[in-house]
Amino acid sequence: MDIPLLRTAEDFQNGKPSASIEEAQQKIIWADHLLILFPLWLGAMPAVLKAFFEQTLRPGFAFAEAKKGRLPKKLLRGKTSRIVVTMGMPGFFYRFYLRAHSLKSLEKNVLAFCGIKPVGSSVIGMIEGMSAKQRANWLARMAALGRKAR
């Protein structure tokens, strides 16, 4: 996908999304459950994923203009999501020592802001050093979650 960076608030508010972003928006409307899978880079999601969310979850699509003194209306209510984050560090270190700040930000500041909830999460640490058995176990866990759609 060609995902240009947003550079101004004006573009975010009033710019026209590209054809590929409009197609992604239609797929989001169609879906009941969204799977978001990404590697942790420098403590957060890769920039291209952030750019995707900025382009896709625009005013008028993901949330409506707020009435004075109110929060914006959440336009993606009724959808659920699971975030899967892979990383080189131990998953417990990310969750408990670093407090999973970027994961929580995505859950609360992006998805919940648009009405997507509940949002489940899976943190898969030490991905590069996993044995074949550990990888198979994680794949089985992810498949089981996929069948439940949570």
pLDDT at 41 over 90: yes
Q: What is the pLDDT of residue 119?
A: 93
pLDDT of residue 12: 93
Domain ranges across the chain: 9-148
CATH topology assigned to domain 9-148 = Rossmann fold (3.40.50)
- pLDDT, tens digit (0-9, with 9 covering 90-100), for 100-134: 999 999 999 999 999 999 999 999 999 999 999 99
Asked if 145 and 82 touch (Cβ cutoff 8 Å), the reply is yes
Contact 88, 127 (CB under 8 A): yes
